[in-house]
Amino acid sequence: DGGITQSPKYLFRKEGQNVTLSCEQNLNHDAMYWYRQDPGQGLRLIYYSQIVNDFQKGDIAEGYSVSREKKESFPLTVTSAQKNPTAFYLCASSVGRSRNQPQHFGDGTRLSIL
């Protein structure tokens, strides 16, 4: 979606290296999410944030970290502790705390190991 920008589109990580994936939104959404997608698989939630300066672990948070210092930005760091980081990473946002709001996705970042 045009309102969510993820960068870079492709990223390569060396062994023992931390890398940070950028996610910026101009939709004025309160909630933001990070998902991991493996080939032929569904989306698994890594972290989510409902408000600035607050975030919660999702189902597969180990080896990842996030920050939410600004409403527009929710960067994801893939740390060296994540032993199998090769995947497609998707950032999404939604209006806020509600069960009935659709999520809007960025174009994703493909991360590979060198």
Partner 1 sequence: GQQVMQIPQYQHVQEGEDFTTYCNSSTTLSNIQWYKQRPGGHPVFLIQLVKSGEVKKQKRLTFQFGEAKKNSSLHITATQTTDVGTYFCAVPPQGSGNTGKLIFGQGTTLQVKP
Question: What six digits make up the tokens of 91?
Answer: 């950032």
111 binds partner 1 (CB under 8 A): no
Q: Which residues of 37-52 are buried (b: 16+ CB within 10 A; e: fewer)?
A: eeeeeebebbbbbeee
Structure tokens given for 61: 């948070």
Is there binding between residue 84 and partner 1 (CB under 8 A)?
no
Q: Site for partner 1 (CB under 8 A): which residue of 10, 14, 15, 42?
A: 42
61 in contact with partner 1 (CB under 8 A): no
Q: Which residues, 6+ apart, have CB-to-CB distance to 92 below 8 Å?
A: 4, 32, 33, 34, 35, 103, 104, 105, 106
Asked whether position 27 contacts partner 1 by CB under 8 A, the answer is no
Q: Which of 23, 25, 33, 82 binds partner 1 (CB under 8 A)?
A: 33
- Per CB under 8 A, does 106 bind partner 1? yes
Binding stretches for partner 1 (CB under 8 A): 1, 31, 33, 35, 40-45, 48, 50, 56, 58, 90, 92, 94-108
